[in-house]
Amino acid sequence: MSFKNFYQFSNRNLIRNILYPVIRGNQFKSFLILILRFLTLGLFFSFRESQESLKYSIKGKRKFILDLRDAKLNLHLLGILLQFFSDIKEKFKNFEVWINENSFSQNPNRPYSNEFNDILRTVSKILKFRIISNQFKNIENFDNSYLKISYTNGYKFQGLDFNHPDSLKNLFIKKLKFKSKPINFSKLNFPKNSGKFTLSKILKNNFTLVMFSTFDENLKFEKFERRLGVISKKNFLFMKSIFESIQKKIKKENIKNFKIVFVNKKALNWNIDENIIDLRNFENYNLSFSELLIILNLNCNWTFGSEGTLSYYLLLCKKLKHVIFIDNSHWKHTSCNGSAAPFFCKELNYINYKNSPNQYIPISKKQVINNIFQDYKKFNKKKNG
């Protein structure tokens, strides 16, 4: 991590880095930041949250700049913005994303994390937009359309964080007139003798359901209140009953070419059988996050599960169908529309949901199972010619 990345850390995290360093270089940088904060009475070398409004302007269709310098986005927030990238690229002749050292949030417990740049650069190749690093000029001095999101200089819209469902609707949909669209994660060729190519072929030759729901009864990763994910126990049990019915049907009918792919590290307590393909630790297969998305998008059929960062990226995949389980049990005062699920999900009409797009809980267990297995029959018919 660069020196400026450490501006994001609290004093507590800096002290932890000093006492229990994961990387020796981080120990020295943390110590130096603490000293500099002390000498400047905390006015400098820190990352203070701004209460100001973000800045935006539409000046024609020649170029749009998304300025994410000092935005301090986590991976989920980047996903929320990505739902608008396809439309921005279609509306404007040129599209640029400006970033710097603090565009993305830093986690002191994951110093080697590179998912942010991996995803952004992959999408830039797919949609053909430019990423500009360490641009020092003031965006307001340019005669271009732009949106500037900065944790330290403007993060809010109408008094709410930009990622609040009301902000997303009022700013991106109503003011900027952007449309939410999925992304066709593609354009990646693996060598034919590689494990990635073999995995792609296995998935392609089977009908596959991607399962991503958290189930962590032993609290290996989650706190007690989130051991079932961010969903109510009632809706979790409903989801669990559907998933187990799918597994039972596969076993009862002795189906050999219907595979279930686990991709969430926190999916620990689901039943494992011979039909499971375990990609919960996909990094062990030398897969990046973007490569995982591309492989799943191009070779799988359905996704199934509850809310989370991983689910948001899977929902962005254009070629997949989805069974979504999202309620407001953990976020009682907000709709999930746009924030927990992309806006375009309300247009998905193959599963009927209760109270969508404010939440997504399937109305009928029977409909979910029937639709998945109808697609399985179509898959077999197409494969058999």
DSSP structure string for 50-112: P-SBPEEE---SSEEEEE-TT--B-HHHHHHHHTTHHHHHHHSSEEEEEE-TTSB---TT-TT
Query: Which residue bears the tokens 């300025």?
Result: 67
Query: Which residue bears the tokens 């949909």?
Result: 173
Q: Provide the 10 A C-beta neighbour count for residue 91.
A: 17
Q: What is the pLDDT of residues 230-280, one digit of tens each?
A: 999 999 999 999 999 999 999 999 999 999 999 999 999 999 999 999 999
Q: Residue 112 has what pLDDT?
A: 41
DSSP secondary structure letter of residue 370: H
Chain mean pLDDT for the chain: 90
Q: Is the pLDDT of residue 24 over 80?
A: no
The identity of residue 205, as a single letter, is N
The identity of residue 203, as a single letter, is L
Output the six-digit token pair for 131. Answer: 């990423």
Q: Does domain 195-383 have CATH number 3.40.50?
A: yes
Virtual CA dihedral for 318, 319, 321, 326, nearest 10 degrees?
-30
- Cβ-based neighbours of 276, under 8 Å, separated by 6 or more: 259, 260, 261, 262
Q: What size, in residues, is the chain? A: 385
Q: What is the pLDDT of residues 190-243, one digit of tens each?
A: 777 788 889 999 999 999 999 999 999 999 999 999 999 999 999 999 999 999
pLDDT band for position 4 (cuts 50, 70, 90): confident
Q: What is the pLDDT of residues 315-349, one digit of tens each?
A: 999 999 999 999 988 776 678 899 999 999 999 99
pLDDT band for position 111 (cuts 50, 70, 90): very low
In Å, what is the CA distance from 161 to each residue of 9, 49, 73, 105, 329? 20, 11, 12, 16, 20
Report yes or no: 320 and 293 within 8 Å, Cβ to Cβ: no
Domain boundaries, the chain: 3-39, 55-175, 195-383
Share of residues in the chain with pLDDT > 90 (%): 70
